[in-house]
């Protein structure tokens, strides 16, 4: 108990797909407390798998909004029981899974402003009757709150669309057509229309359930929803997470009237004005002061999306690059002058609102590497590494691109091998094949990053995270493109801490003015 007492700190929160997590960070940026609630394990009553409900159409994917609220309740109660000294919390911030959206029902703002410290959050935000979970066959997948519960229900729909949803293709095509095509939309908002992006999800709700939409007073992203709980009022959407909606004009940081009009009426008033990602959006709600002992002056800093938070948490600067080598490979870039294309995403930078960040996702990541390992290296990473060690950098001009599942960037499938003479061939020797895979993956990252406007700078540094970042032989594959990767990549693991350290990045200045 003494360990958590009398230590001035900031809290970082992560509302991710599968869990809610918290860390406490002291003035020296040391993490001295952390905890989490895993939805599938700790909140069985919501019946999620991987934190979500996959509906019968196989395309609609949602999460129960009250599950997120109850997870927050559980963590705060555990912190209280452990003796955590909330009076020492100077500020808090955090991240949420990108693209997911929450629909606050008319009257929710009054409920948030008048919460009783004698009750848990989820007890006050839920309707008085049992909620529907996954809708049975024949019922709309939009799970509407029972009409008689307006007094207590704070949400227009109880199961909220999340980033895994791919049910809005028709709305995507409609949006692109309205603004002059996919490239025009990308230049405007940083991305072509994607099914998971929030604007298209809002359009679907409006078209399929106009009553629920009309009863909605505010639409939040998961990040601004989480901040709203702490604030006791509707928190604004930040520029960076707002860039993942197909609605924000990334150049001047305002909502695009053309995009809003293509999605739903009166949408601007339901979204509110966006703010810079480092904004202090207010002081913590009196509910948390009275129930847990937070100081009244505890600042709530705008929450952002998990991907922008990763860029902030890894302390990237202009010209830096980070790659997450996981199930899929994700590339994070800091850009000053972006060039939006039909592939990848341009977001407003969460650290410097005058700059940008790019996000490129490659579906054939570790699963593809593992498949080639199993086929050619006896399922052994040691043998896989021997192949890389025994072949020379550049692979004598032999190159391969391997997409066993339909790739995102670009949309292509199949295995494609090219000899030094630029002839397509059907196979390579096993060791050449392994190097061709690794160098081909990094060449693809180079090509697409440069297409988005990335340029190497003298101080450029590279951070690698994810499971494959522990294999130094795989990282040496970057050496073949030394003009793109001028230094050996630095290992940076524990992605969760990267996301949560976003609070450190955004609130360090608060220490200087408060301690």
- List pLDDT tens digits, range 455-481: 878 888 888 887 788 888 988 876 555
Q: Residue 175 belongs to a domain with what CATH number? A: 3.30.420.40
Spatial CB neighbours of 397, under 8 Å, sequence gap ≥ 6:
419, 420, 421
Classify residue 74: in a domain, yes or no: yes
Q: Which domain covers residue 159, as residue numbers?
A: 2-308+498-514
Classify residue 350: in a domain, yes or no: yes
Task: Examine the domain organization and report whether 248 and 350 are in the same domain.
Answer: no
pLDDT value, residue 134: 40
List, for residues 29-45, the tens digit of each pLDDT value: 899 999 999 999 999 99
Classify residue 315: in a domain, yes or no: no
Task: Examine the domain organization and report whether 396 and 301 are in the same domain.
Answer: no
Place of tokens 């895979």: 437
Classify residue 413: in a domain, yes or no: yes
* Nearest one of 406, 488, 487, 401 to 445, comparing CA atoms: 401
pLDDT value, residue 412: 86
Distance CA 160, CA 176 (A): 24
**pLDDT at residue 417 greater than cutoff 60:** yes
| Mean pLDDT within 375-404 | 94
Percent of the chain with pLDDT over 90: 68
Task: Examine the domain organization and report whether 291 and 367 are in the same domain.
Answer: no
Classify residue 79: in a domain, yes or no: yes
Residues 170/206, Cβ–Cβ less than 8 Å: no
Residues 449/319, Cβ–Cβ less than 8 Å: no
Classify residue 185: in a domain, yes or no: yes
Q: How many CA atoms lie within 13 A of 80 on its CB side?
A: 14
Measured on CA atoms in the order 11, 97, 358, 405, is the torsion positive or negative? positive
pLDDT value, residue 445: 87
Task: Examine the domain organization and report whether 28 and 104 are in the same domain.
Answer: yes
pLDDT value, residue 481: 52
Task: Examine the domain organization and report whether 333 and 251 are in the same domain.
Answer: no
pLDDT value, residue 498: 45
Classify residue 316: in a domain, yes or no: no
Residues 388/438, Cβ–Cβ less than 8 Å: yes
Task: Examine the domain organization and report whether 194 and 265 are in the same domain.
Answer: yes
Reported as a pLDDT band with limits 50, 70 and 90, residue 363 is confident
Give the three-state DSSP class for 63. Answer: strand
Q: How many Cβ atoms sit within 10 Å of the Cβ of residue 473?
A: 17
Place of tokens 């935000």: 125
Residues 322/464, Cβ–Cβ less than 8 Å: yes
Mean pLDDT, all residues of the chain: 88
List, for residues 96-123, the tens digit of each pLDDT value: 999 999 999 999 999 999 999 999 999 9
Residues 185/171, Cβ–Cβ less than 8 Å: no
DSSP secondary structure of 276-304: -TT-EEEEPPHHHHHHH---TTPEEEPPE
Classify residue 314: in a domain, yes or no: no
List, for residues 149-204, the tens digit of each pLDDT value: 433 489 999 999 999 999 999 999 999 999 999 999 999 999 999 999 999 999 99
Task: Examine the domain organization and report whether 55 and 201 are in the same domain.
Answer: yes
Q: How many Cβ atoms sit within 10 Å of the Cβ of residue 427?
A: 10
Place of tokens 């809002």: 202
Task: Examine the domain organization and report whether 510 and 396 are in the same domain.
Answer: no
pLDDT value, residue 459: 82
Task: Examine the domain organization and report whether 196 and 345 are in the same domain.
Answer: no
Q: How many domains does the chain have?
A: 2
Task: Examine the domain organization and report whether 60 and 76 are in the same domain.
Answer: yes
Task: Examine the domain organization and report whether 487 and 502 are in the same domain.
Answer: no
Task: Examine the domain organization and report whether 50 and 181 are in the same domain.
Answer: yes
Percent of the chain with pLDDT over 70: 87
pLDDT value, residue 62: 97
Decide which of 513 and 219 is more confident.
Answer: 219
Decide which of 66 and 146 is more confident.
Answer: 66
**pLDDT at residue 511 greater than cutoff 50:** yes
- Alpha carbon distances (Å) from 153 to 100, 114, 148, 201: 20, 14, 9, 21
């Amino acid at each position: 108990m003494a360990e958590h007492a009398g230590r001035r700190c900031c809290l970082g929160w992560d509302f991710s797909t599968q869990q809610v997590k918290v860390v406490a960070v002291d003035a020296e940026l040391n993490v001295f407390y952390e905890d989490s609630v895993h939805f599938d394990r700790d909140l069985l009553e919501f019946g999620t798998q991987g934190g979500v409900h996959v509906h019968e159409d196989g395309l609609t994917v949602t999460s129960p909004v009250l599950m997120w609220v109850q997870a927050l309740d559980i963590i705060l109660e555990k912190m209280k029981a452990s003796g955590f000294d909330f009076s020492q919390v100077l500020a808090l911030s955090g991240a949420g899974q990108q693209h997911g959206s929450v629909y606050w029902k008319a009257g929710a703002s009054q409920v948030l402003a008048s919460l009783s410290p004698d009750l848990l959050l989820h007890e006050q935000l839920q309707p008085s009757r049992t909620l529907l979970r996954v809708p049975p066959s024949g019922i709309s997948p939009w799970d509407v709150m029972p009409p008689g519960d307006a007094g207590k229900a704070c949400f227009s729909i109880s199961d909220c669309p999340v980033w895994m949803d791919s049910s809005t293709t028709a709305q995507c095509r409609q949006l692109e057509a309205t603004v002059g095509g996919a490239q025009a939309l990308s230049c405007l908002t940083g991305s072509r229309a994607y099914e998971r992006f929030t604007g298209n999800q809002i359009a679907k709700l409006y078209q399929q359930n106009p009553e629920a939409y009309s009863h909605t007073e505010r639409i939040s992203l998961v990040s601004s929803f989480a901040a709203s709980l702490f604030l006791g009022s509707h928190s604004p959407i930040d520029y960076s997470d707002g860039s993942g909606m197909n609605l924000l004009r990334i150049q001047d940081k305002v909502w695009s009237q053309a995009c809003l009009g293509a999605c739903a009426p009166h949408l601007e008033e339901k979204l509110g004005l966006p703010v810079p990602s480092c904004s202090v959006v207010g002081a913590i709600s009196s509910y948390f002061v009275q129930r847990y002992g937070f100081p009244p002056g505890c600042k709530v800093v705008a929450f952002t999306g998990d991907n922008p938070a990763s860029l902030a948490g890894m302390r990237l600067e202009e010209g830096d690059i980070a790659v997450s080598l996981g199930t899929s490979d994700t590339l994070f870039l800091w850009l000053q002058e972006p060039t939006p294309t039909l592939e990848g995403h341009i977001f407003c930078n969460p650290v410097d609102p005058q700059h940008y960040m790019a996000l490129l996702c490659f579906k054939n990541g570790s699963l593809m590497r593992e498949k080639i390992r199993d086929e050619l290296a006896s399922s052994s990473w040691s043998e896989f590494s021997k192949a890389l060690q025994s072949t020379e950098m550049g692979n004598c001009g032999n190159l391969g691109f391997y997409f066993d599942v339909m790739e995102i960037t670009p949309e292509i499938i199949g295995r494609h091998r090219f000899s030094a003479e630029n002839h397509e061939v059907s196979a390579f020797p096993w060791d050449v094949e392994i190097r061709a895979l690794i160098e081909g993956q990094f060449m693809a990252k180079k090509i697409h990053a440069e297409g988005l406007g990335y340029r190497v700078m003298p101080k450029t540094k590279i951070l690698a995270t994810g499971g494959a970042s522990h294999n130094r032989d795989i990282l040496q594959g970057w050496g073949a493109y030394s003009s793109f990767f001028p230094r050996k990549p630095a290992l940076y693991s524990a992605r969760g801490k990267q996301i949560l350290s976003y609070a450190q990045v955004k609130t360090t200045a608060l220490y200087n003015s408060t301690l």
